[in-house]
């Protein structure tokens, strides 16, 4: 029988993780699944628990939380793999703010449907990104994407909000960031033998498709195609930023002149003037970084998800 390690972040979604535990235990038991459930107690605890679960021989590790919890579990699984301990499939049950990691992997945000997905145990093998720099000179893995500049500051601002939750908190944070983060840094972006030097408002390096709970940074992104999807926005006026927002919501920003897209396995971003605020899967990489090096590692982890025909 398949035995899952269920790793719950009890404070995810302002306590939604803790409140979801009775429902998770009940639904998984109804499906006849064998599982052990444990709560995280501190930052990076989920990564350690995931790594230990691989060594203990669990058949799957499930992150219960938001993008940050999923990122930690992914890092634990990758650390186990790099240490030669092997790995195991990863699942996600969504109780967080944005749930963009899960969205990009074809995992439903509804909790009961998510439990059904675990019972069905359909899997695909996902690529994993690795970024070096900022607070992680030794490197940190990510599943959905890295945001540099405007969208990183949006995430930082959304976390400060106490009354709004989910996508509305990100939308309000966007409006605040238009006025807080206007002067973009001068950067060089190196990939595929070319170097772009410009004032860049935002640089998104995607393995998944979405950030901020609804902004389609890479509408055609696939987490198993061996390539990052890049979305680069040069410095524009505040008025133009407002005009671009609907395009990012629809995923049509590539039709707009300030936006450049590309696909690559490796990219290096260096600040020539100013600094780089950045996040990976919503987790802070740096607030004043100078250089970030990113690479995509093809087909690293099995993810438990919906089959393609079930995804709208």
Using the CB atoms, write b or e for 154-167: b if 16+ within 10 Å.
bbbbbeeeeeeebb
Q: Over range 42-62, report the average pLDDT.
A: 97
What kind of fold does domain 3-121 have according to CATH? Rossmann fold (3.40.50)
pLDDT value, residue 182: 64
Tell me the domain boundaries of the chain: 3-121, 131-299
At 28, the pLDDT band (50, 70, 90 cuts) reads very high
CATH architecture of 131-299: Sandwich (2.60)
Count CB neighbours of 182 within 10 A. Answer: 14
What are 156-195's pLDDT values in tens digits? 877 777 676 677 777 787 778 887 766 789 999 999 999 9
Distance CA 254, CA 251 (A): 8
Non-local CB neighbours of 223 within 8 Å, separated by 6+ positions: 104, 105, 124, 126, 127, 143, 207, 208, 303
Distance CA 119, CA 2 (A): 9
Specify the 3-state DSSP secondary structure of 209: coil
What are 285-304's pLDDT values in tens digits? 999 999 999 999 999 999 99
Residue 117 has pLDDT above 60, yes or no: yes
Q: If 0-12 CB within 10 Å is exposed, 13-18 middle and 19+ buried, where does residue 22 land? A: exposed
């Amino acid at each position: 029988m398949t035995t899952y390690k269920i790793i719950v972040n009890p404070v995810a979604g302002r306590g939604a993780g803790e409140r979801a535990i009775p429902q998770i235990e009940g639904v998984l038991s109804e499906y006849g699944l064998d599982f052990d459930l444990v709560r995280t107690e501190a930052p990076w605890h989920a990564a350690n628990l995931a790594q230990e679960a691989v060594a203990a021989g669990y058949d799957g590790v499930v992150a219960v939380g938001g993008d940050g919890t999923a990122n930690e579990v992914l890092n634990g699984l990758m650390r186990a793999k790099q240490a030669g301990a092997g790995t195991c499939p990863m699942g996600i049950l969504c109780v967080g703010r944005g749930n963009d990691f899960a969205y990009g992997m074809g995992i439903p945000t509804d909790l009961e449907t998510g439990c059904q997905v675990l019972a069905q145990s359909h899997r695909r093998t996902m690529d994993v990104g690795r970024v070096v720099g900022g607070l992680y000179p030794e490197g940190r893995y990510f599943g959905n994407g890295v945001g540099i500049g405007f969208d990183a500051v949006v995430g930082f601002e959304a976390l400060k909000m106490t009354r709004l939750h989910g996508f509305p908190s990100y939308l309000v944070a966007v409006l605040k960031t238009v006025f807080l983060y206007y002067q973009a840094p001068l950067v060089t972006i190196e990939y595929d033998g070319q170097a772009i030097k410009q004032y860049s408002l935002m640089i998104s390096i995607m393995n998944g498709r979405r950030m901020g709970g609804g902004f389609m940074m890479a509408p055609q992104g696939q987490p198993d195609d061996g390539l990052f999807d890049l979305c680069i926005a040069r410095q524009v006026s505040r008025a133009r930023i407002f005009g671009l927002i609907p395009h990012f919501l629809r995923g049509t920003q590539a039709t707009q002149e300030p936006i450049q897209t590309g696909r690559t396995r490796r990219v290096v971003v260096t600040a020539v003037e100013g600094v780089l605020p950045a996040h990976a899967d919503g987790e802070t990489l740096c607030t004043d970084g100078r250089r970030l090096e990113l690479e995509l590692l093809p087909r690293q982890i099995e993810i438990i998800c919906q089959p393609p025909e079930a995804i709208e």
